[in-house]
Amino acid sequence: MSGQHHPSADILAAYASGVLEPGFGLVVAAHVDGCAQCRRQVASYEAISGDALCEIDDAAMGDDALSRVMSRLDGAAPEKLAMDRRPFAERLTLKPRKWVAPGVWVAAVETPHARTNRVYVLSVAPGMPTARHEHSGAEFCTVLKGAYRDELGLFRAGDFAATDHDVNHQPVVQGDEACVCLFATEGRLQPQGLLGRLAFAYADV
């Protein structure tokens, strides 16, 4: 699936150099996993970094480094590691789902990330109003399943959205299946209204 909405070149470059916060990197990975176009772009950034690696100033290894490493090599030939070919969404480790409203569940993603960030999967059934909310910081989102529409357009499975703190939006689920999205959010979510806040507090995200 190659969607219509891709991470910007800046975001892909940051992802390729490993400097994105873990939760945010995970959301980019969810998109890149299914997008050949972005995979090629990431690969080209990695190639540039690989060339830079060859040009970097050497930092001498310890005298016994080689022998220590050699002693750690497994006996026979290295084994080919099996690729995990499950869909990206199935490779995520989720905490238990919490129903925060009829037809709406949230599950925190088990990934080490900064205490001030939230990383979670949100599933919203069609016909359910989502909480209009503001962001106190950046938010990355990749649609895992289903589709939603907001002021920025239609977002389907595989599509990526990055929003900033000044966005106040209200996505609407499209089609007849639940829309499941992976989010990384910086700072506290600011759903408007008491119920929205309660729901997110209750869900520990």
Partner 1 sequence: MDDCADISDEALLTQIAAGNRVAFSSLFGRYASKVKGYLIKLGARGAAAEDLAQDVMVSIWRRAASFDPAKAKASTWIYVVARNAWIDKLRRERVELAYRDTLIIDEASDEELPDDAVSRVQTEAQMAEALELLSEEQKQVVRLSFFEDRPHSEIAEHLSLPLGTVKSRLRLALIKLRAHWEQMK
Which residues make up the interface to Zn ion (CB under 5 A)?
Answer: 6, 35, 37-38
Beta-bridge mates of residue 134: 168, 190
Q: What are phi and psi of 76, to 5 degrees?
A: -85, -160
Q: Which does 119 bind (CB under 5 to 8 A by kind): partner 1, Zn ion, none?
A: partner 1
Residue 1 near partner 1 by CB under 8 A:
no
173 in helix, strand or coil?
strand
- Rounded to whole angstroms, the Cα distance separating 139 from 137 reads 7
Pick the binder of partner 1 from 62, 85, 86, 166 (CB under 8 A): 62
Q: Which does 76 bind (CB under 5 to 8 A by kind): Zn ion, partner 1, none?
A: partner 1
| Minimum gap (Å) between residue 124 Cβ and partner 1 | 9
| Minimum gap (Å) between residue 104 Cβ and partner 1 | 8
Query: If you write DSSP's letter for every residue of 28-90 in order, what string do you get?
Result: HHHHHTT-HHHHHHHHHHHHHHHHHHHHSPP-PPPTTHHHHHHHHS-SSSPPPPPP--S-HHH
| Minimum gap (Å) between residue 199 Cβ and partner 1 | 8
Residue 116 near partner 1 by CB under 8 A:
yes
Pick the binder of partner 1 from 101, 138, 167, 172 (CB under 8 A): 101
